[in-house]
Every structure is written in structure tokens, then in C-alpha cells.
Amino acid sequence: MPNLSNLRSLRRVYKHSLSSFQVRAQNTKIGSLGRAGNLKAARKVFDEMPERDVVSWNAILTAHWQNRDLEGSKRIFDSIPERDILSWNSIITGCIENGEPEQAFEYFASMPERNIASWNAMLCGFLRYGCFDKAEWLFREMPEKNVISYTAMVDGYMRHKEIRKARELFDKMPKRNAVSWAVMVSGYVENDMFDDAKKLFDLMPQKNLLACTAMITGYCKEGMVAYARETFDLIQDKDAVSWNAMLAGYAQNGHCEEALKLHIQMVRAGVRPDHATLISSLTACSSLALLQQGRITHALAIKTMLNSYTPLCNALITMYSKCGSMRDSELVFCGIRCRGLVSYNTIIGAYAQHGNYQNVIASFEEMQQNRIDPDETTFLALLSACCYVGQVKDSLKWFDLMVSKYNLTPQSEHYGCIVDILSRSGELEKASSYIKKISNKAENAAWGSLLGACKTHSNVELGELAANNLLKLDSQSSGAYVMLSNIYASAGMWGAVNKVRRLMREKGVKKLPGYSWLEIGNKVRWFTVGDASHPEMVHIVRELHRVTLHMKLSKEVDVGLELD
């Protein structure tokens, strides 16, 4: 026979657990709304709660800084009735995420007690903002360390190019997990130490998804796409990031059809393409100048609402520009809400490629009005614009501005551009004097521009110098031989021409014909020099004559085109 008072207490317990269950459900809701970027909705749930626990307060606190409202978080923090360690940890992480590491440390220092997560959060904060001494100090002071503390520190060293220190600490770690190994492998890859990455990768007891992905990137950086594919095929459960790594590898190494195929295979495998997938596909479309495919990718971006993502817009601008549709590039550029440095660099580069110098300058000025400081890439785009339109004077002016006003250091690419500009305008001596400032990596292209210009401006002496230097770097460079023999030919030095031809035969150097292609309607047409296989060749030649005559009659342009 149940007694009444027992029943009452049972009911009380039941009622209590029901309400705590409801509170917990609301807390979860605040958390997920906050993460989804809907601070307003999260706030509404919080405000309408009849009772709250400390978890509710922590959830709304986190929701605020996750949506870029750190000040809101601070106010909430101050009004929490009973703070726990997680409230402190959350406000610390919030400060770090929103660019206030000093503020984070103030909270950290005044905490009544800390757990390992507090120490780790602060450690990551210092590492992210490059406060290296403070991070090392904190790492020493930590009462206990776990695999996360060690891994974070190793990663921090790698990101700051302290590779030796990273390895030392990695070797000292009491325990390693999948992330620790991945951090080391990707650290080596990031720092162009492929051999070390490979060695470590081979040492791994179990090759995990993360490390394999890092290794794919490593192989692709070295141009070893086939090995990257082998590693890719090893992965059992491929996720979006690993697909993206392989796809990007193909696109960056010129295997663009393969990249686009992989995009389709990824979808078939049931993995959803994300922004990184679309960006790499767009890169592939740009290289192949596939406008239709590029438009399809643009449509996919709109469908998945990724078209408001600035990096994707920048990729779209490049794609449209390289596919010849500058109008679409402009449309995408105008649609970007927050135009940053990269967006301006991209549109300037696009105008440069199209030889629209006026818009290059206009975009540069607009950029300055928006208080965005140009960087090395901006000036490379400006210089390449000068190159396309033959602005010798302006190019030197930009070069000077870059150094004197913005304190930027010109790189090989900048000097290479100057060499190209001076070469094209016939200032061959000046051009060759700039080549000394160029690193081996870019030297090839610079000698190439000089050599080309020596042909146009009939300079045998410098042409020989350029060709010799080019052949020193690449003895199989067919272009160097052909160009040199052309220089001799136009100077009437037939003996020398024959000598070069003989040398070519002896060394087994073959000139592969260059070819190009363009997309008309839905078809890709490709063509090469001397190709007369087209069924409508007669009409094509007639039309070319008509166009050439038209250009010649127009006094403004001297195209230098000769048709027989």
C-alpha cells in the first residue's frame, strides 16, 4: 500500500527532472543556433527561458562571440550569477577568436581555478598571434600537459618555421595521436621539406586520413601527381577535404580534365562538394578556358549559396577573365560585399590581362579610396598591365612607388616583369642588367623574354648571351635554339644558322608545335601553326585576309601581321 507522502516526493522528483530536461534541451538549442550564425534566434530562446542554469549562460555567452559580438559576451560574462570554469574558458576562447589575446590573458590570469582546457586555450591563443615567448613560457608553466598541448605547440613551431624545435618536441611527446602525426607531416610539406615529410610518413604506424591528405598536397607540390593519386587511393573513407586535396593537385599541375572528372566522381561517391571543391574546379576551367563549364560551376555555387563567399568570387573573376568574358568578371566583382585586398588584386590582374590599362588604374585608385594597402601581388598585376600595353615609363614609376611608399621588397617576379617590359621596348642592355637580381627559379623566363626581344630588335650579341644562359639552365630548351637560329637568319648569318640546326640534331632536341584552343558554342576548337585540315579552310583564310586588311587600314594600330 503506497503511502501518500512517498508519492508526493516522487512527483516532486519527477517534476524537477522534467524541468531540468527542458532546460537542457533549450541549452542545446541555443548552442546550435549560435553555431549556425543565428544569434537573434539563440537570444530569443535564452530570453524566454523560465529558468536557466549556468550552462544556459555559457551557451549564450559563446553564441555572442561566435557571431562576432565579443562585447556582448563580456557583458553576459559579468552578469552570470554563478560562473563555472567553462564560463571562463569560453570568454577566453572568445577573446582569442576575436583578435584580443591580451584581453584573453587578463581573464586567464584572474581565474579562480583553471583546468587543462583553460591552459590549452591560452596556449593556442599565444601561438596563433605569434607570441612565441609567452607560449613557451606558458607551456613550461602548465601544471599538466596532454596530447593536445603538445600537438598545439608542435604545430605552432611549424607555422613559425621553427622546424627543428617542432621535431624535438614531437620526439619528446609521451603520446601521439593521428593529429600529432598529421601536424608534423603537413608542417614539413608547408615548409617545402618534402623529403622529411615522406620519411616521417613512411615511419607512421597507421597512415590516417589527415596525414594522407597532407601527403597528397606534398606530392602535388613536387609535381608527383601519380604518387599523390596512389596515396589518395589508399584512403578508405575519403572525406571532402581529401577529395579536394587531390582535385586541387590535379588542377595546379595542369591535369585539368582529370580535376573536373574527379569533381563528378566525388559527387557519385556521395561526398558533397564544398567551397574548396568549386574553387579548384574553377581554377581548372580557367586553365582550359572552358567558359561553359565555368558557368555551370558558377551555377552550382549559386545553388549552394556559396556565391557570397569572397574567395569563391575571386576564383570566379579569374575564371571569367581567363575565359574571355570580362563583363562577367566585372559583374561578379561588383556583387562582392566585402572587397578585400585579394579581390582588388584579382580584378586588377584581370584588367591587366585584357590590356585595359585605364581600368587597371581606376581599380587601383578605388582600392586606395577604400583604404586597402596594396601588396607585392598588386604591384605584380600593375607591372604586368604595363607589360601588355607597353608602358615603360609607368612601370618604373610603379616599381618606385612600391619600394618608396609601401616599403615592399620586389621579388624575382617583379624584376622579371621589368625585364620583359624593357626587352619589348628594345632597351635590351637595360633589361639584361636587371636579370642579375633574379633568382634561379625565375631566371629562365627572364632570359626567355630577352631572347625573344633580341629577335624582334635584331641584336645578335645579346641574343647569343641570352640563349647561352637559357641553355645552361635547360639544355633541351627547343625554344632557345629556334629563337637563336631565327636571330642569325634575320641577320643573314647562314653559317651560324646551320651550326645551331646541327647542334639541335646532335642533342636530339625537337621542337614540339605549340597549339591553342577556344570554345565556340559548346565545342572546343583547337589549332596549331600551319594546320590547314579544317574543312572550311578556304573561307577561314579569306576572312583572315579581310580582318587583316581592316586592321591595317585603321591608322591607330600597327599589328605587324603578315599573311601571304
Partner DNA sequence: CGAGAGCCAT
Q: Is 275 in the site for DNA (CB under 7 A)?
A: yes
- Shorter beta-carbon distance to DNA: residue 148 or 503: 148
From 27, 89, 363, 395, residue interacting with DNA (rule: CB under 7 A): 89
Q: Specify the 3-state DSSP secondary structure of 522.
A: coil
Q: Which of 100, 146, 90 is nearest to 121 (CA)?
A: 90
How many binding residues for DNA (CB under 7 A)?
62
Q: Which of 464, 504, 505, 498 is nearest to 481 (CA)?
A: 504
Q: How many helices (H) and strands (E) does the chain have?
A: 31, 2
**Residue 253 identity (one-letter amino acid):** N
Interface with DNA in residues 99-128 (CB under 7 A): 115-117, 120-121, 124
Q: Is 179 in the site for DNA (CB under 7 A)?
A: yes
Distance in Å, CB of 433 to DNA, minimum: 28
- For residues 420 and 401, the answer to whether their CB atoms sit within 8 Å is no
**Residue 323 identity (one-letter amino acid):** C
- Shorter beta-carbon distance to DNA: residue 384 or 423: 384
From 152, 383, 450, 453, residue interacting with DNA (rule: CB under 7 A): 152
Interface with DNA in residues 490-509 (CB under 7 A): none
Q: Specify the 3-state DSSP secondary structure of 237.
A: coil
Interface with DNA in residues 334-353 (CB under 7 A): 340-343, 345-346, 349
Q: Is 178 in the site for DNA (CB under 7 A)?
A: yes
Cell of 153: 605547440
Distance in Å, CB of 149 to DNA, minimum: 7
- Shorter beta-carbon distance to DNA: residue 232 or 447: 232
From 26, 66, 244, 459, residue interacting with DNA (rule: CB under 7 A): 244
From 38, 98, 146, 325, residue interacting with DNA (rule: CB under 7 A): 146
Using the contact rule CB under 7 A, the part of the chain among 373-381, 492-500, 523-531, 548-556 near DNA is 373-381
Distance in Å, CB of 553 to DNA, minimum: 36
Distance in Å, CB of 534 to DNA, minimum: 33
Each residue 188-217 as x (binds DNA by CB under 7 A) or -, in order, gives: -xx------------------xx--xx--x
Distance in Å, CB of 190 to DNA, minimum: 7
Using the contact rule CB under 7 A, the part of the chain among 39-47, 164-172, 179-187, 192-200 near DNA is 179-187
Q: How far is CA 364 from CA 311, 317, 373, 380, in A?
A: 19, 16, 10, 12
The answer for residues whose C-beta is within 8 angstroms of residue 97's C-beta and 6 or more apart is 65, 66
Q: Is 147 in the site for DNA (CB under 7 A)?
A: yes
Query: Rounded CA gap, 68 and 71, in Å?
Result: 9
Backbone angles phi, psi at 425, to 5 degrees: -85, 5
Cell of 38: 543565428
Distance in Å, CB of 296 to DNA, minimum: 18
Residue that is written with C-alpha cell 570580362 in the block: 326
- Shorter beta-carbon distance to DNA: residue 73 or 378: 378
Helices (H), 67-115: 70-79, 85-97, 101-110
Q: Is 283 in the site for DNA (CB under 7 A)?
A: yes
Query: Rounded CA gap, 430 and 408, in Å?
Result: 22
Distance in Å, CB of 348 to DNA, minimum: 8
Q: Is 186 in the site for DNA (CB under 7 A)?
A: yes
- Shorter beta-carbon distance to DNA: residue 182 or 417: 182
Using the contact rule CB under 7 A, the part of the chain among 143-151, 327-335, 445-453, 520-528 near DNA is 143-151
Residue that is written with C-alpha cell 608542435 in the block: 154
- Shorter beta-carbon distance to DNA: residue 45 or 215: 215
From 142, 148, 267, 482, residue interacting with DNA (rule: CB under 7 A): 148
**Residue 24 identity (one-letter amino acid):** R
Distance in Å, CB of 277 to DNA, minimum: 7
Q: Is 252 in the site for DNA (CB under 7 A)?
A: yes
Q: Specify the 3-state DSSP secondary structure of 271.
A: coil
Taking each helix axis from N to C end, the angle separating 178-190 and 163-172, rounded to the nearest 10 degrees, works out to: 160
Distance in Å, CB of 211 to DNA, minimum: 8
Distance in Å, CB of 543 to DNA, minimum: 34
**Long-range contacts formed by 423-426: CB under 8 A, 24+ apart:** 423/449, 423/450, 423/452, 423/453, 423/454, 424/387, 424/390, 424/449, 424/453, 424/456, 425/390, 425/392, 426/453, 426/456, 426/457
Cell of 277: 571543391
Backbone angles phi, psi at 408, to 5 degrees: -95, 150
Query: Rounded CA gap, 359 and 440, in Å?
Result: 34
The answer for residues whose C-beta is within 8 angstroms of residue 516's C-beta and 6 or more apart is 526, 527, 528
Q: Is 239 in the site for DNA (CB under 7 A)?
A: yes
Distance in Å, CB of 469 to DNA, minimum: 28
Cell of 257: 580534365
From 42, 57, 105, 155, residue interacting with DNA (rule: CB under 7 A): 155
- Shorter beta-carbon distance to DNA: residue 188 or 447: 188
- For residues 232 and 238, the answer to whether their CB atoms sit within 8 Å is yes
- For residues 483 and 455, the answer to whether their CB atoms sit within 8 Å is yes
Q: Is 323 in the site for DNA (CB under 7 A)?
A: no
Query: Rounded CA gap, 530 and 539, in Å?
Result: 16
- Shorter beta-carbon distance to DNA: residue 131 or 241: 241
From 292, 310, 356, 444, residue interacting with DNA (rule: CB under 7 A): 310
Under the rule (CB under 7 A), what is the footprint of DNA?
85-86, 89-90, 93, 115-117, 120-121, 124, 146-148, 151-152, 155, 177-180, 182-183, 186, 189-190, 209-210, 213-214, 217, 239-242, 244-245, 248, 252, 274-276, 279-280, 283, 286, 310-311, 314-315, 318, 340-343, 345-346, 349, 375, 377-378, 381
